[in-house]
A and B are shown apart, each in its own frame.
Chain A
Amino acid sequence: MFITDLSAISPQLTYNENFLLGDKKSYESTVFNAIEPDYTELIPRNLLRRMGKAVRIGIGTGTPLINKNSELDGIIIGTANGGLEDCIRFLNQIIEYNEGTLTPTNFVQSTPNAIAGQLALIGKNRGYNITYTNGGTSFENAILDGILLFNEGNNKKLLIGGIEEISEYNYNIDSLSNKFKKETIKDSKLLESNTPGTICGEGAALFVVENESNNYYAQIKDVAQITYPSIEDLRECLTEMLERNNLKSTDIDSIMLGYNGDINHNHWYEYIENKIFKKSNSFTFKNLIGDYRTCSAFATWLSSHIINGEKKILKHISRRINNKNTPKNILIYNHFDTVRHGFILLSK
């Protein structure tokens, strides 16, 4: 699967070239909010007027890709929660108006498949269309579906992506279950904070993927996932994926790890970094964007640019550099809240 085009809206200036040119935003906050572009030229205002943030950043990221890439065969989106802001707004209406006459827009926009649905609408795309809501491996699900579609042979070009929004409400809910740090923290200090909890982030990263190409950013070679694993289960899952691709751990020159500053999450990443891929370069990404359930889509966006030779971003994300050449392959490993774990294997 070849990534031939890509776009991201994130807490960094990823929507234009500024981030890749070295312009990094710094945060000292309890949330890292996405930097949104001006959508007026991009999204028909009749659609824009109804959109909550998840839908807006998803459509804002996807529309230029749709416009530039005709003949998309289908759209596959991973989003754990979709438009939660709209969802809870509708819920608040239910309670506050005692189930009286309620405005339907929040309800319609809150369903997670509204993003893939409206991308189809904008692109008049009647191809395969699906939305995965599988928590921390929603984007991994989307990649696997794409790989299957290409192998089945009926599809040549797909739009896939991962999207999540921060709303006050999901922030509250995840805070109540102790997912986030209580204190504000500088992004540069996040990964070494040694306290429980992480920082809440958000964003959309979408990709045009093709089954054949000579001109591409990176290849997605494979994906694997496991839920509630033991360390042994995780190693078995990884080994199986490497074997499937005829690779040894020493063939992986770089790894991109989901370190998120939560002291209770680190040991999983440390195991992969120090026990399995001792010699590989290691990179991080959550110091740029915070943590959310489909952030591996951003990690894929970032890794694709690194494989494609972008250098100026490396200083912000390098953790261990053993080899200064442009990475030939990057293995992304991420888990959300230690429950759902995913691997994404990218190569030149």
Chain B
Amino acid sequence: MKVVVTGIGIVSAIGNNVAANETQLKLQKSGIDKAKNFKSRYTNSLNFGEVRLSDSELKKILHITKKGYCRTALLATMAFKEAINHSKLTKSEIESYRTGFISSSTVGGMCNTDELYADANMKGEPSEFIKTYGGGEHTLQLIKDFNIKGFTSTINTACSSSANAIMLGCRLIKAGRLDRVIVGGSDSLSKFSVNGFNSLMILSKEPCKPFDENRDGLTLGEGSGYLVLERSDIAKNKKPLAEVIGYGNSNDAFHPSATSNEAFGPTLAMQRAIESTGIKKLNIDYINAHGTGTPNNDITELFAFNKIFSKIPPYNSTKSYTGHTLAAAGAIESIFSILSMKNNELYPSLNCLNPITKFNNPPIKKKTNITIDTVMSNSFGFGGNCTSIIFSKIK
């Protein structure tokens, strides 16, 4: 049985829908810049991958008038709607017991940092967000708005969250528990995440430089991505974008916020993903790397590539376009991988002027056209959570 991708939806720093994101990738234009909507002490001193829509603009586009929608939920609704429309799901399909929904977020409703501070410390009347701080609350809002009745879940494995949502979705379809499932994640810029990563001193002052010798940290982004996965036989009348052919998950079991020098977790996640395809001598044409731009991530990820591949496939970090969108990264970057495959185009990794010297294997330097049949997307997170997903063209 095959699991195919029949719909995709994105909102990120490089666009409010899939087409806009695709255009920016082709133009090789980063969305990382100074923030306009995000208010923080660091608004002017740091760069961000900010979605160029304010909360009120998002609400207007989405026709949301109810209270209690945090930015995480608004971004999720944007991408979710695009994905289900793209897949042309009917109301009855969405509401079927055989349709599931698996979302993910790290900050969830805590993006309303100031309101949460007041509510948690009981300063004044409860805010409109009082019931929406939990990581699984944006999932509930979508469940309610779209009347989803089937299996639902929310995952938080930090920066690999939505990659795990894709993996779980495939497994549920393959196990016969579901016919289709909408999978992905959402995270918005927040004082909570920005100060969290800043306290670990892993935010770059400049736009992130993944795989550069002089990289000095990541750039936080925000966004949301969802994919509609369907059992291939019920999607017969659709033109699926890709097939999910493999996935692998591992824990690095080394440190709460750093990857081991031996890159145990990343290596195992990729190896398990490759093995799970059941294809001998699988050829991977392109890797969308985790590539955060921190000194620790990029060297360990390259180390893992070197261990696994006799010849490392072309790779880039599209975080150089969007910033690190945390829980949404796995879904957004899976969609970028699928777009690369659809267009047979490799997009350059930006800001890598002096590639890491230890390995003579720089990321993609310029836009190139090659045949891309198989792609792998990597997502590694705090807590050692590593996941890799492999997609192929529909054969």
Listed in ascending order, the chain A residues whose CB lies under 8 Å from chain B are: 75, 80-82, 87-88, 90-95, 98-104, 107-109, 111-114, 116-118, 120-121, 123-135, 137-138, 141, 144-145, 148, 151-152, 169-170, 172-173, 176-177, 225-229, 233, 236-237, 240, 339-340
- Known contacts A99-B195, A120-B384, A129-B251: A225-B120 contact under CB 8 Å: no
Q: Is the CB of A133 within 8 A of B136?
A: yes
How many angstroms from the CA of A145 to the CA of B151 in the assembled complex?
12
B250 to chain A, nearest CB (A): 5
Q: Which residue of B120, B143, B192 has the most chain A CB atoms within 10 A of its CB atom?
A: B120
Known: A99-B195, A128-B250, A148-B171. 14 other contacts (CB 8 A): A88-B120, A111-B106, A113-B382, A113-B385, A117-B256, A121-B384, A127-B250, A131-B383, A135-B140, A137-B153, A138-B154, A141-B153, A152-B175, A226-B149
The one of B122, B139, B152, B199 in contact with A102, judged by C-beta atoms closer than 8 angstroms, is B199
Q: Is the CB of A113 within 8 A of B134?
A: no
Question: Given the complex, which residues of A lie within 8 Å of B252, measured CB to CB?
Answer: 120, 126
Q: Is the CB of A227 within 8 A of B153?
A: no
Closest chain A residue, CB of each to CB of B194 = A99
B186 to chain A, nearest CB (A): 13
Binds A, one of B108-116, B338-346, B352-360, B369-377: B108-116
B251 to chain A, nearest CB (A): 4
Q: Is the CB of A173 within 8 A of B130?
A: yes
Q: Is the CB of A148 within 8 A of B121?
A: no
- Known contacts A121-B384, A133-B135, A152-B171: A227-B152 contact under CB 8 Å: yes
Q: Is the CB of A104 within 8 A of B121?
A: no
Question: Given the complex, which residues of B lie within 8 Å of A87, measured CB to CB?
Answer: 110
How many angstroms from the CA of A200 to the CA of B248 in the assembled complex?
38
How many angstroms from the CA of A123 to the CA of B254 in the assembled complex?
10
Q: Is the CB of B106 within 8 A of A107?
A: no
Q: Is the CB of B171 within 8 A of A135?
A: no
Chain B 192-222 interface 0/1 with A at a Cβ cutoff of 8 Å (1 = within): 1011101110000000000000000000000
How many angstroms from the CA of A81 to the CA of B154 in the assembled complex?
12
The one of B42, B134, B198, B255 in contact with A80, judged by C-beta atoms closer than 8 angstroms, is B134
Kindly state whether residue B133 has any CB partner on chain A within 8 Å.
Answer: yes
- Known contacts A112-B135, A126-B253, A148-B172: A169-B195 contact under CB 8 Å: no
The one of A91, A100, A141 in contact with B110, judged by C-beta atoms closer than 8 angstroms, is A91
- Known contacts A80-B136, A132-B153, A133-B135: A90-B196 contact under CB 8 Å: yes
Question: Given the complex, which residues of A lie within 8 Å of B135, measured CB to CB?
Answer: 80-81, 112, 133
Question: Given the complex, which residues of B lie within 8 Å of A93, measured CB to CB?
Answer: 195
The one of A90, A129, A170 in contact with B192, judged by C-beta atoms closer than 8 angstroms, is A90
How many angstroms from the CA of A75 to the CA of B257 in the assembled complex?
18
Question: Given the complex, which residues of B lie within 8 Å of A103, measured CB to CB?
Answer: 199
How many angstroms from the CA of A214 to the CA of B152 in the assembled complex?
33
Interface residues in B157-215 (C-beta closer than 8 Å to A): 157-158, 164, 168, 171-172, 174-175, 177, 191-192, 194-196, 198-200
Listed in ascending order, the chain B residues whose CB lies under 8 Å from chain A are: 40-42, 97, 106, 108, 110, 113-114, 116-117, 119-122, 126, 130-131, 133-137, 139-140, 143-144, 148-149, 151-158, 164, 168, 171-172, 174-175, 177, 191-192, 194-196, 198-200, 249-257, 264-265, 268, 381-385
The one of A107, A126, A135 in contact with B265, judged by C-beta atoms closer than 8 angstroms, is A126
A246 to chain B, nearest CB (A): 16
B277 to chain A, nearest CB (A): 14
Q: Is the CB of B382 within 8 A of A94?
A: no
How many angstroms from the CA of A107 to the CA of B133 in the assembled complex?
16
B263 to chain A, nearest CB (A): 11
How many angstroms from the CA of A129 to the CA of B269 in the assembled complex?
11
Question: Given the complex, which residues of A lie within 8 Å of B158, measured CB to CB?
Answer: 111, 113
Question: Given the complex, which residues of B lie within 8 Å of A126, measured CB to CB?
Answer: 250-253, 264-265, 268
B287 to chain A, nearest CB (A): 21
Question: Given the complex, which residues of A lie within 8 Å of B113, measured CB to CB?
Answer: 91, 94-95
How many angstroms from the CA of A80 to the CA of B140 in the assembled complex?
13
How many angstroms from the CA of A170 to the CA of B177 in the assembled complex?
34
A79 to chain B, nearest CB (A): 9
Question: Given the complex, which residues of B lie within 8 Å of A129, measured CB to CB?
Answer: 157, 249-251, 384-385
- Known contacts A117-B383, A176-B119: A132-B154 contact under CB 8 Å: yes
Q: Is the CB of A225 within 8 A of B116?
A: no
The 5 A-B residue pairs whose C-beta atoms are closest, nearest first, are A117-B383, A129-B251, A107-B196, A169-B120, A133-B135
How many angstroms from the CA of A240 to the CA of B97 in the assembled complex?
11
Closest chain B residue, CB of each to CB of A226 = B149
B377 to chain A, nearest CB (A): 17
Q: Is the CB of A132 within 8 A of B155?
A: yes
Q: Is the CB of A108 within 8 A of B157?
A: no
How many angstroms from the CA of A226 to the CA of B40 in the assembled complex?
39
Question: Given the complex, which residues of A lie within 8 Å of B149, measured CB to CB?
Answer: 226-227, 229, 233
- Known contacts A133-B156, A227-B143: A172-B195 contact under CB 8 Å: no
Q: Is the CB of B117 within 8 A of A130?
A: no
A333 to chain B, nearest CB (A): 17
Closest chain B residue, CB of each to CB of A84 = B120
Question: Given the complex, which residues of B lie within 8 Å of A94, measured CB to CB?
Answer: 113, 117, 191-192, 195
Closest chain B residue, CB of each to CB of A79 = B156
How many angstroms from the CA of A228 to the CA of B194 in the assembled complex?
34
- Known contacts A132-B153, A133-B136, A227-B143: A172-B120 contact under CB 8 Å: yes
How many angstroms from the CA of A117 to the CA of B385 in the assembled complex?
7
Q: Is the CB of B117 within 8 A of A173?
A: no
Closest chain B residue, CB of each to CB of A98 = B41
Q: Is the CB of A176 within 8 A of B171?
A: no
Question: Given the complex, which residues of B lie within 8 Å of A128, measured CB to CB?
Answer: 249-250
How many angstroms from the CA of A123 to the CA of B251 in the assembled complex?
11
Write 18 A-B pairs (CB below 8 A) sorted by A numbering: A94-B191, A94-B195, A99-B41, A99-B195, A101-B199, A104-B200, A108-B200, A113-B157, A113-B385, A124-B253, A126-B253, A130-B155, A133-B136, A133-B156, A138-B154, A173-B116, A176-B130, A233-B149
Closest chain A residue, CB of each to CB of B135 = A133
Q: Is the CB of B136 within 8 A of A151?
A: no
Q: Is the CB of A225 within 8 A of B151?
A: yes
Closest chain B residue, CB of each to CB of A90 = B196
Q: Which residue of A111, A124, A226 has the most chain B CB atoms within 10 A of its CB atom?
A: A111
A15 to chain B, nearest CB (A): 25
Closest chain A residue, CB of each to CB of B201 = A104
